[in-house]
Amino acid sequence: MSERTPKPSRAILFTAFEPSGDALAAPVIRQLLHHDPKLAIYAWGGPLMHRAGATVIEQTVEAGAMGLSALRRFSEIRREVRRIKRWAREHRVLAHVAVDSPAANFPIAKVMRKAGAKVIHLAAPQLWAWGRWRMGKLRRSTDLVLCLLPFEEQWFNDRRVPAKFIGHPAINRRVNLQQLRERMHGLPQGAPRVVIFPGSRRQEVRANTRLLVSVYNELQGRHSGMGGVVVAANPELARLIRRRIKVFPSGLHMITGSIDAAIAWCDLALAVSGTITLDITVQRKAMVGVYKTGLLSWLGANILLRTRYRLLPNIIAEREIVPEFVPHIGGPMPIVKQATRYLQDSKNAAVQSEELHRVCLRFANHKPAEEAARLIRKVIAGTPVT
């Protein structure tokens, strides 16, 4: 913005540091501008937020945390905090919407709170899983947490952090099966059909691709007509998968994107844990969850993580409805054993499908972007959100 241009008197700042945060924030920005086109929305964010109508000051989500060392990531965050602090001195910001990425957003929220802005977290920091010592920090610099998972609202309210459940964009959406069937025509033939989701970050793909392809190989030995698809989240990760798997096994193909079509096509999904498990949940397809780690990470996860389950469908259901190998330090055979249960006996897949349907019911009647925008407006206006 030019120094000669009058600064808008009503502005909201969004900060996102992952592609997933860019996707989460964009429809909320669109809803805010739909209700108030004169609102000025600024962002440290990405292309989706820009297309939704935000003025993007810094591009911060193109690579996200992919491939960055912890030291470099910490240095990047400190630099962005300093830039935002300088920027905030020249702009009257009514609200700061911190989109996920608590490691980056906590120090920014502290700065913006001191500058007089209301602070809203879009996606709750997963303190219920680990890092509960940060609760005091969250409480001191938060006006509202917008929760994507149904149990989070009560959990944060019980700890004196205002919170509201708004639903989850992976669940609260319409899946047009007819359109997906049309997009399935280019996918390989074969039966049964197995889809592999090796992760959306470089470190996930590096750690899990060979293991999941080994699982596919073992399963193919038991089902000679089996077809498979590896889904790369973007072209960069597709290139990384090609480097990890020099020669693809017979019947295994790779596509980029087309996540929903690949889920609709498959009989079984092998998925690295994360939001993708909710994308699979909404179509009620059988799945097995995996996250391969080294021994030290395995030990650390078992010490630090406070939840009994690690996959989102199981966390929400509060029981294991999806076999999970998270974290996993072994080879493919335990995963193969669980996968075989669903491929050899359709009753097992049907039981899991029904359990996934029950998970979806806990999100019924929510519209995440609309509810988030409405609650952000209420916080700005000083209106109670309950």
Q: What does 298-353 look like in DSSP terms, one character per residue?
A: HHHHHHH---S--SHHHHHHTS-SS-EEEEE-S-SHHHHHHHHHHHH-HHHHHHHH
Alpha carbons 382 and 384: distance in angstroms, whole number: 7
CATH number at residue 118: 3.40.50.2000
Structure tokens at 193: 């059909």
In a domain, 4, yes or no: no
Domain limits at 214?
Answer: 177-361
Q: What is the mean pLDDT of the chain?
A: 91
- The pLDDT of residue 122 is above 90: yes
Q: Do 181 and 139 share a structural domain?
A: no
Q: What is the pTM of this model?
A: 0.91
Q: Do 211 and 109 share a structural domain?
A: no
Radius of gyration of the chain (CA): 22
Task: Note the pLDDT tens digit of each residue in 249-281.
Answer: 989 999 998 999 999 999 999 999 999 999 999
8 Å CB contact between 96 and 15: yes
- What is the structure's pLDDT at 73? 66
Structure tokens at 217: 């190989």
- What is the structure's pLDDT at 219? 97
- The pLDDT of residue 71 is above 70: no
b/e sequence 102-112, b meaning 16+ C-beta within 10 Å? bebbbbbbbbb
Distances (CA, A) of 314 to 56, 318, 345, 356, 373: 37, 6, 21, 9, 29
- The pLDDT of residue 386 is above 60: yes
Q: Among candidates 190, 125, 200, 151, which has minimal Cα distance to 363?
A: 151
- The pLDDT of residue 127 is above 60: yes
Q: Do 184 and 80 share a structural domain?
A: no
Structure tokens at 54: 């935000």
Share of the chain above pLDDT 70, in %: 92
In a domain, 2, yes or no: no
Q: Do 199 and 142 share a structural domain?
A: no
Average pLDDT estimate for 97-117: 93
3-state secondary structure of 256: strand
Distances (CA, A) of 272 to 51, 84, 291: 29, 34, 5
The three-point CA angle 245-18-258 to 5° equals 50
Q: Do 271 and 156 share a structural domain?
A: no
Confidence category of residue 5, pLDDT binned at 50, 70, 90 = very low
Q: Do 335 and 229 share a structural domain?
A: yes
Confidence category of residue 132, pLDDT binned at 50, 70, 90 = confident
DSSP 130: S
Q: Do 329 and 227 share a structural domain?
A: yes
Paired strand residues for 271: 197, 289
Q: Do 210 and 120 share a structural domain?
A: no
Who contacts 254 (Cβ-Cβ below 8 Å, separation ≥6)?
229, 230, 231, 232, 238, 241, 242, 248
In a domain, 226, yes or no: yes
In a domain, 271, yes or no: yes
In a domain, 6, yes or no: no
> Pairing state of beta strands 144-147 and 227-232?
unpaired
Task: Note the pLDDT tens digit of each residue in 285-328.
Answer: 999 999 998 877 767 666 667 788 999 999 999 999 999 999 99
- What is the structure's pLDDT at 177? 84
* Burial (0-12, 13-18, 19+ Cβ within 10 Å), 136: exposed
Q: Do 110 and 203 share a structural domain?
A: no
Q: Do 315 and 377 share a structural domain?
A: no
In a domain, 5, yes or no: no
In a domain, 277, yes or no: yes
E strand or H helix that includes residue 11? strand 11-16
Count of domains for the chain = 2
- What is the structure's pLDDT at 66? 40
- The pLDDT of residue 64 is above 70: no
Pick from 69-78, 109-118, 140-149, 330-339: least confident: 69-78
Q: Do 224 and 157 share a structural domain?
A: no
Q: Do 120 and 46 share a structural domain?
A: yes
Alpha carbons 73 and 308: distance in angstroms, whole number: 29
Alpha carbons 186 and 254: distance in angstroms, whole number: 11
In a domain, 3, yes or no: no
Q: Among candidates 97, 24, 21, which has minimal Cα distance to 63?
A: 21
Average pLDDT estimate for 187-207: 94
